[in-house]
Amino acid sequence: MNLSETLVAVFGGVFAVLAAASLVGAVLKFRLAPATPHAVIDNLNARLKAWWVMIGLIALAIWAGDGGVIGLFAFISFQCLREFVSLTHTRRGDHRALLWSFFVLLPLQYYLIAIGWYGLFSILIPVYGFLLLPISAALGSDTTRFLERAAKVQWGLMICVYCLSHVPALLTLQIPGYEGKGALLIVFLVLVVQSSDVFQYVWGKLCGRHKLNPAVSPSKTVEGLLGGVASSTAVGAAMWWITPFSPLQAAAVALVVNVLGFFGGFVLSAIKRDRGVKDWGSLIEGHGGMLDRVDSISFSAPVFFHIVRYWWVP
Amino acid sequence: MGLERLTGSALCGFAKLITGVRATWRDNAPDARQRVYFANHRSHGDFLLIWASLPPALRQSTRPVAGADYWLTDRLRRYIAERVFRGVLIDRSAASRQADPVAQMSAALAAGDSLIVFPEGTRNLGDGLLPFKSGIYHLARANPAVEFVPVWIENLGRVMPKGSYVPVPLLCSLSFGGALQWQAGEAKTDFLARARTALLDLAPALD
Residues of B within an 8 Å Cβ radius of A? 20, 22, 125, 155, 158, 161, 164, 166, 168-172, 204-207
* pLDDT averages per 10-residue partition of chain A, 314 residues: 87 93 89 80 84 91 94 96 88 88 97 96 96 91 87 95 97 92 94 91 86 84 92 95 96 96 93 82 73 93 97 93
Whether residues B158 and A283 touch (CB distance < 8 A) is answered with no
How close does chain A come to B171, measured CA to CA in Å? 6
Per DSSP (E only), the strands in chain B are 22-25, 35-39, 62-67, 88-90, 114-117, 147-154, 173-176
Q: Which residues of A touch B169 (CB under 8 A)?
A: 78, 82, 102
Write the residue in B166, B169, B204 that is nearest to A82 by C-beta: B169
At B15 the pLDDT is 86
At B207 the pLDDT is 54
At B194 the pLDDT is 94
Q: Which residues of A touch B168 (CB under 8 A)?
A: 85, 95, 98-99, 102
How close does chain A come to B156, measured CA to CA in Å? 10
Whether residues A283 and B20 touch (CB distance < 8 A) is answered with yes
Angstrom distance (rounded) from CA A164 to CA A74:
9
Predicted TM-score of the model (pTM): 0.88
At B206 the pLDDT is 63
How close does chain A come to B200, measured CA to CA in Å? 17
Whether residues A281 and B171 touch (CB distance < 8 A) is answered with yes
Whether residues B155 and A86 touch (CB distance < 8 A) is answered with yes
Tell me if ipTM is over 0.85: no
What percent of chain A stands above pLDDT 90?
A: 64
Whether residues B207 and A85 touch (CB distance < 8 A) is answered with no
Q: Which residues of B touch A89 (CB under 8 A)?
A: 206-207
Below-50 pLDDT ranges, chain B: none
At A92 the pLDDT is 78
Residues of A within an 8 Å Cβ radius of B? 78, 82-83, 85-86, 89-90, 92, 95, 98-99, 102-103, 276, 281-283
At A37 the pLDDT is 80
